[in-house]
Structure 1
Amino acid sequence: MELVRQARAHVARLDLSAAQAAVLDGQAHTARALWNLLHEYFTFRQGRFATLKDCDAAIRTARREIDWMGRLPAQAAQAVLKTYRQAWANFFNPGHPAGRPTFKGRLRTRLAVDVPQARDLQIKRVNRRWGAVNLPKAGRARFRWTKDLPGVTRGGPAGRITGARLVKDAHGRQVVFRTEALVAPAPAVHSGHPVGIDRGVIVALALSDGTMREHGPWLGNGEKEHLRRLEKKSARQRRTRPRGQPASHRLARTYDQIARLRATAKRRAVDWQHQTTTELAGTFSVVVVEDLKITNMVRSATGTVGNPGVNVAQKAGLNRSIAGEAWGRTVTLLEYKTSDRGGHVVKVPARGTSQTCHQCGHRDPAARDGIRYVCVNPACGWVGHADTNAAINIKNAAGTVVSGRGDLGTARSAKRQPPRAA
């Protein structure tokens, strides 16, 4: 059987000294500054965009004339240029949801440095728990060994490491290895059945077969109380800070503690999503979901001075709940996991799925009351869980459109709205 190449990423925790962490912080800030310089050079020329050749020449000149540019390895600088050019390509692609590239702020940008060439890494396993890797200009560092990497360990999976990315978050630094493994091709036909999935806030995932996939709160009661106290503390510290002055060291420590708690919640959410989507991808052949415009759904209800919004606080709470469920990430994980197993994901329009009875097709907004659905059609009268009803409608709508009146229309694919023209 001929093997196929499968590109994946593997994240591992780095164990760095204080000097190594300072070196990588400097490289990451330099990469961010280089992105901003490229953006200014690329967009603010005399009526035309700069070419790739112009940008490459500008980077080489800057590395010779600006001392602190030398902190960033040359290959990493070229990776910044490649990523920047790809950002513009995504923006001009009508089928891609990416927005226009912008400047990167110092405080809101995730610090990251690329290592595009795998030969510079020199990966080696040290013992059962740790491996070692070369970091450009930072030296040899240990990383947590949690799984065998393709082409590294004897007897491990076949393949190779194609590069890495060094990323910093609230819990420290991680190395993200780009792997290319040789695996058996996916089966031509998945043996499972199709399923419709309704994503919600009260019930995380409701399936058309009547089952549900739920989770508890991402933070415990003690952690929630700790987070609440830290947020109140940061508010007090901000009030005492003179306007225009940078944050104090105490306020910065408070921000770091808040960020660590929120990062913990996100890690638990991602772990649950990975386990749940793996189980769904292995069980069902076709997963049908709604093509939701999540960005539009989480817009603020504040309104304007002339036309103020209503129920602003309630809408803000709903927006936080939707963002906490990360519906888009769930679909992204399902897409590649079902593809690996011979299945696929189908997106259908969302209009009418939660207000239409799956038994008789009658649509009435009053039929849904919270999580309970009661069909108001006297000839039907179906009663059940509203999310299960929506999931069945989603499954039945594969290849069709649920119209505004609740009946099934002709087949039509759901297309993304193209981004704004440059």
Structure 2
Amino acid sequence: METVKRARAHVARLDLSTDQTAVLDDQAHAARALWNLLHEYFTFRQGRFAMLKDCDAAIRQARREIDWLGRLPAQAAQAVLKTYRQAWANFFNPDHPAGRPVFKARYRSRPAVDVPQARDLQIARVNRRWGAVSLPKVGRVRFRWIRDLPGVTRGGPAGRITGARLVKEADGWHIVFRTEHHVPVPAPHPGPAVGIDQGITVALALSDGTMREHGPWLTTGEKERLRRLEKKSARQRRTRGPGQPTSDRLNRTYDQIARLRATAKRRAVDWQHQTTTQLARAFGVIAVEDLEIVNMVRSAKGTVDDPGRNVAQKAGLNRAIAGEAWGRTVVFLEYKSRDRGGRIVKVAARGTSQTCHRCGHRDPAARTGIRYACASTACGWVGHADVNAAINIRNAAGTAVSGRGDLGFTRSVKRQPPRVA
């Protein structure tokens, strides 16, 4: 039977002591500093890019001469070099959306530490709710056991763990296990085709007339607490003079705001996972719009000479669009449909919400809120505007912008590979 390799990530929350948290924080800061040192060495070395062996030698020398850099495990340091080189490879790949590698700021980058070899982890299940893992220079740490890991539990899923990455979020440290499975090539999905229109009033409208909706990500009390914390942070910022460092009280307020926003994001991701799994199981072909989300959420402030209009309203719309995370929904649909033998088709978004799916008459004034009333005297169809758009998306699936399952990224400038010294 023909098989295909499937790589997936499994995220679990770590249960760390205060001392273990401090050790991981130090390792993450050392990894960030090493990235910055590599970037400076790689890009400013006599005007030429450094070779891989020179970077490796520089890392070994730095770990011997700089005490605090030795807090980072040797394998994690090599993983930083590998990730850094891959970042340049992605940048020079014309089909990859990655930008040019830059220095990592202390408070604007996500703390992370790599554990590239799985044999160092020594994963074991402690009880029904907890598992245990060994982390370099940290020791034995418990983590939340949510699902069985491949190659760990007897009778669990087939496959193996190839490594892990430790990532610090607003609510603490998490471990991301890198798993690898060999599964049979899925047969073509026998389900029907469907078009999906993503919106704000209705999260997902399907061409079969059904909706996929959700409530607010935060409760009323959580929203009020977030509003009070944001006002508090504004007052604390006003008391800080130019050039003065951020106070500990303001940092604590920022941390409280970040935890609330992280709670909202977790709930949104959970809803997206459940909804996209249901859609991937039910439909063989899923048509979505090829949206330019970056252009859609641009600010309306304008310039001094040509100021924008309705700036506050546009800012609120941008926040609503960002809160729905349309791009993440499509990414989930892509790999889940591919795993089940289905496929995603992306169609041009132009005119899908202004055109009547029955007669093809296009009129921007036909849509009023969530109601669509065809202005053609020969048709006169009236119904839900988002469902009408979803039907148009399904009908237009034959003229897709990208139907390969990728995101269809393109570049306008062909970059050349770096010179090697």
TM-score (normalizing by structure 1): 0.94
Task: Measure the CA separation in 2 of the matches of 1:401 and 1:177.
Answer: 35
Q: Which residue identity does 1:275 align to in structure 2?
A: Q
Task: Measure the CA separation in 1 of the matches of 2:117 and 2:223.
Answer: 42
- Alpha-carbon displacement from aligned partner over 1:397-418 (angstroms, at most 9, x marks no partner): 112269xxxxxxxxxx995331
Residue 420 of structure 1 and its aligned partner are, at CA, apart by 4.8
Structure 1 equivalent of residue 108 of structure 2: 108
Structure 1 equivalent of residue 228 of structure 2: 229
Residue 183 of structure 1 and its aligned partner are, at CA, apart by 3.2
Q: State how 1:152-167 maps to structure 2 within 5 Å.
A: 152-167=152-167
Structure 2 equivalent of residue 86 of structure 1: 86
Task: Measure the CA separation in 2 of the matches of 1:416 and 1:21.
Answer: 39
Equivalent residue pairs, number: 411
- Alpha-carbon displacement from aligned partner over 1:4-36 (angstroms, at most 9, x marks no partner): 432111111111111111010011111111111
Q: State how 1:16-415 maps to structure 2 within 5 Å.
A: 16-187=16-187, 189-400=188-399, 415=408
Kindly report the root-mean-square deviation, in angstroms, between the aligned alpha carbons of the 2 structures: 1.7
Calculate percent identity across the aligned residue pairs: 79
Task: Measure the CA separation in 1 of the matches of 2:50 and 2:374.
Answer: 61
Q: Decide whether aligned partners of structure 1 residues 73 and 420 sit closer, same or farther in structure 2, where only a CA change above 3 A counts.
A: farther
Which has the higher mean CA deviation after the structures are superposed, 41-50 or 346-355?
41-50
- Alpha-carbon displacement from aligned partner over 1:203-226 (angstroms, at most 9, x marks no partner): 111111111100000001010001
Q: Which residue identity does 2:248 align to in structure 1?
A: H
Residue 234 of structure 1 and its aligned partner are, at CA, apart by 0.8
Residue 419 of structure 1 and its aligned partner are, at CA, apart by 5.7
Residues 374 and 382, structure 2, Cα contact 8 Å, conserved in 1? yes
Q: What secondary structure sits across from 2:134 in the alignment?
A: strand
Task: Measure the CA separation in 1 of the matches of 2:168 and 2:338.
Answer: 30
Residues 91 and 419, structure 1, Cα contact 8 Å, conserved in 2? no
Q: Which residue identity does 2:212 align to in structure 1?
A: R
Q: What secondary structure sits across from 2:49 in the alignment?
A: coil
Residues 348 and 414, structure 1, Cα contact 8 Å, conserved in 2? no
Residues 94 and 414, structure 2, Cα contact 8 Å, conserved in 1? no
Residue 2 of structure 1 and its aligned partner are, at CA, apart by 5.3
Residue 325 of structure 1 and its aligned partner are, at CA, apart by 0.3
Residues 345 and 400, structure 2, Cα contact 8 Å, conserved in 1? no
Residues 99 and 419, structure 1, Cα contact 8 Å, conserved in 2? no
Q: Which residue identity does 1:314 align to in structure 2?
A: Q
Task: Measure the CA separation in 1 of the matches of 2:81 and 2:89.
Answer: 12
Task: Measure the CA separation in 2 of the matches of 1:333 and 1:262.
Answer: 21
Task: Measure the CA separation in 2 of the matches of 1:34 and 1:110.
Answer: 14
Residue 421 of structure 1 and its aligned partner are, at CA, apart by 5.1
User: Is residue 2:411 matched to residue 1:418?
Assistant: yes
Task: Measure the CA separation in 2 of the matches of 1:298 and 1:44.
Answer: 36
Residues 34 and 80, structure 1, Cα contact 8 Å, conserved in 2? yes
Residues 353 and 390, structure 1, Cα contact 8 Å, conserved in 2? yes
Residue 165 of structure 1 and its aligned partner are, at CA, apart by 0.6
Task: Measure the CA separation in 2 of the matches of 1:21 and 1:220.
Answer: 30
Task: Measure the CA separation in 2 of the matches of 1:167 and 1:247.
Answer: 24
TM-score (normalizing by structure 2): 0.94
Task: Measure the CA separation in 1 of the matches of 2:307 and 2:52.
Answer: 47
Structure 2 gap segments, 5+ residues each: 416-421
Residues 166 and 173, structure 2, Cα contact 8 Å, conserved in 1? yes
Q: Which residue identity does 1:287 align to in structure 2?
A: I
Q: What secondary structure sits across from 1:399 in the alignment?
A: helix
Which has the higher mean CA deviation after the structures are superposed, 351-360 or 216-225?
351-360
- Alpha-carbon displacement from aligned partner over 1:270-314 (angstroms, at most 9, x marks no partner): 000000000000000011111111111111111111111111111
Residues 157 and 182, structure 1, Cα contact 8 Å, conserved in 2? no
Q: Decide whether aligned partners of structure 1 residues 306 and 275 sit closer, same or farther in structure 2, where only a CA change above 3 A counts.
A: same
Structure 2 equivalent of residue 10 of structure 1: 10
Structure 1 gap segments, 5+ residues each: 403-412
Which has the higher mean CA deviation after the structures are superposed, 377-386 or 325-334?
377-386
Q: What secondary structure sits across from 1:175 in the alignment?
A: strand
Q: Decide whether aligned partners of structure 1 residues 330 and 52 sit closer, same or farther in structure 2, where only a CA change above 3 A counts.
A: same
Residue 362 of structure 1 and its aligned partner are, at CA, apart by 1.4
Q: Which residue identity does 2:347 align to in structure 1?
A: V
